[in-house]
A and B are shown apart, each in its own frame.
Chain A
């Protein structure tokens, strides 16, 4: 792709920050009555182009933060992708696949941007880091379990991500804000998807309710880690580039609480896991996820299809 071909999409931050409106020339949907256009939302390729042109570069702190949330999305996408061809119904298969692809898109954007601080591409970061270099939370590496466990994990992660991205749209870092502005709309749908299923599984049969309760029992120990502050998030919150994770907890508790109350479920009273994902300390599960995700790229470096 030449620079000329993509010039219309990027003219500094003004255009990429606007998401769906603005850029114009391609994909505004008004060209033809029948033509379906992909639209013109921010793509990872647009961010990579800005990086190559030297128009954007994250600070080390912002890059480290983008790595955390990018890794969350990447590992979750890998987990969810495992459902493809295995979901209980074809329609749900597609729904989980869509959500996985949304998450993969967010991961690509965040990792592309993070990599700019260290001269690395999204693929360098995804495929050629070892387990202790990943910064994802323990929640996203938890096994899929049965459908209810996956829904419990989706419920927690999507309500967390929604609150995070919603605030990051006001980040002083324009690229972080732009990626989040696109992601928050998609995660909003992920919230709805998981909440609908929590209500149905909890209100369905005895079996589905028991499984939903068991799912939350298994997933809830990994909630606290999402809301832990550390020196990085404190510095970023002071600069306005991000927010303290602890500041999201109130809204998370309130909104998840409303759904759980409607479903007639109690918030599980389970001890919290130690966490440590943000420092590269992971549970035994991540290694297997990475092995499957990275094997092809490492076996055939630079391969494409």
Chain B
């Protein structure tokens, strides 16, 4: 399955990334699948699949990702609708908070006389 941080960056392993579709052979588009397991957990990215439209994407997701009783709810999202952060700029994007421990509550000591903090 494709990495979480770049849904549109590559096709399924084994298929050529660059495909020049002929008019007769339009490839099915890529969909990202989110499955919610039972008892209130949130939808979690399960993987991706190909489907001609949303209705069939839901059905394919049911067949591919809930075969073993994994879920009670499915979302499918066109992969192209997901904007993702650039995996090559992880440094500037995500490393800035490192070392800034004053952003954590544990950085501070409790003032005298304060209850229930």
Contacts and interface: CB of A to CB of B under 8 A. Distances in A.
Nearest to B41: A33
B64 A94 contact: yes
Contacts of A92: 60
A91 B60 contact: yes
A37 interface: yes
Interface centre among A29, A91, A196 (most CB of B within 10 A): A91
A98 B59 contact: no
Interface residues on A, range: 20 to 34
A205 B67 CA distance: 32
B65 to A, nearest CB: 10
Given A94-B64, A200-B52, A193 B59 contact: yes
Interface string A165-190: 00000000000000000000000010
Contacts of A95: 59-60, 63
A33 B60 CA distance: 25
B74 interface: no
Interface residues on B, range: 20 to 34
Contact of B28 (A38, A89, A98, A192): A89
Contact of B69 (A30, A37, A196): A37
A30 B39 contact: yes
Contacts, number: 44
Interface in B28-52: 28, 37-39, 41, 49-52
A33 B50 contact: no
A196 B64 contact: no
B60 A36 contact: no
Given A90-B50, A91-B64, A94-B64, A192 B59 contact: yes
A34 B60 CA distance: 23
A200 B60 CA distance: 15
A39 interface: yes
A92 B39 CA distance: 30
A90 B13 CA distance: 13
B67 A98 contact: yes
A37 B56 CA distance: 26
Contacts of A193: 59
Contacts of B67: 98
Contact of A196 (B38, B56, B68): B56
A292 to B, nearest CB: 25
A41 to B, nearest CB: 10
Contacts of B64: 91, 94
A252 B63 CA distance: 26
Interface string B51-88: 11001100110111001111000000000000000000
Interface in B78-100: none
Given A29-B38, A89-B28, A89-B50, A94 B63 contact: yes
B9 to A, nearest CB: 20
A38 B69 contact: yes
A148 to B, nearest CB: 15
Interface of B: 12, 24, 28, 37-39, 41, 49-52, 55-56, 59-60, 62-64, 67-70
Given A36-B68, A94-B63, A200-B52, 7 more contacts: A89-B28, A89-B50, A90-B50, A91-B28, A91-B60, A94-B64, A200-B56
Interface of A: 29-30, 33-34, 36-39, 89-92, 94-95, 98, 189, 192-193, 196, 200, 205
8 contacts: A29-B39, A36-B69, A38-B69, A39-B69, A90-B12, A92-B60, A94-B63, A196-B55
